[in-house]
Structure 1
Amino acid sequence: MTIAFLLTTLVVVVTPGAGVLFTLSAGLTGGHRAALLAAVSGTLATLPHLLAAVTGLAALLHSSALAFDLIKYVGVGYLLWLAVATVRERGAFTVDDHGPAPPAGRIIGSAVAMNLLNPKLTIFFVAFLPQFVEPGSPGALGRMLGLGAVFTATTLVVFVGYGLGAAAVRRRVLDRPRVADWLRRCFAGSFLGLGLLLARAEA
């Protein structure tokens, strides 16, 4: 493991994306419990991408325009649905201190689906990890798995930090309806923007 790998991983994970936005939203709307559920679930959803990269499935998706586009547009559709649901104050995105807490199953399912349907994660593992593994070396597989584990652990720490930070200021948001409305629109616009960016992604 190198400093370059750690720094690059940190930059990639800290940069706000769909997973970060969802974890922030979960913390604001459901508190610490929802934030932790979203963080852990979103992180676990990166593991199938890592396994796909290690077994070669990611390379197949990367080279197959049809398979890539299929996953990509399902992901785009899901992000657009989240944007609409956020604007309409539905699902896990409603900031309401008097209503029931967001169901755990809904939070987990949304967090997992969001990262599973994100082909950029697969591209990341295909294009990023091999740069730090010597091709054909006897321990290449183990090294790639180890680096992937470091990426996953970093993702969990960052997601938990974002989520608990959002949960910590939840009361201030709930006490200011205009702030809550502004944040809801920001989340909706962010999901919309991510969906449009994903639609332009190429294999």
Structure 2
Amino acid sequence: MAKLDELKRRLTPGKVYRRADLTKWSAAVDRDLRALVDAGELTKVSAGVYLRPKQTAFGKAPADEKDLVEAFLKDKRFLLTTPNAYNALGVGTTQLYNHTVVYNRKRHGQFKLGNRLYDFRKKAEFPETLSKEFLLVDLVNNVKRLAEGESVVLKQVKAKAKALDSSALKRAVDDYGGVRAKRFFSEVLEEQAQLHA
């Protein structure tokens, strides 16, 4: 029991741990993990990923999303977004979605981490942070996944694209656009180039 208490003292409330992280403090890590989960000292959020819950006035706080995804991927290189981010672009998308998209270089598929659904999409390239240009390109890449009418949204995307910095948009299209997005934005960028010629 003393060994278990020692392990418990090393765990920081609110922090996410991989099973492998705990092997340095426990000779019987699986037994200790089971005991800590049973006692409510740890919460299993995914296979091999655990949260030391942080108590707040409202109950146990969920894990920080970035920490959770980093522990799951064993990688710091990823981008968190959601289709809800498109709504801020003003292109007619208004639906709310209850999942987070994770662009990364390791995993593909939908995984439930804790109580939240994550859509992991393996990509060779993605930016470090979200920009209007990236979101517009990403929207066109994913327009078929959205609940709104495709033709209405694309018409408004075209208008929005004309209001953005054309060189930044071209970079985003070149770096992150799929075949459809590259074709769609090539017309828009060509029209902009003719206007400024």
TM-score norm. by structure 1 comes to: 0.24
The structure that is helix-richer by fraction is 1
TM-score norm. by structure 2 comes to: 0.24
The structure that is strand-richer by fraction is 2
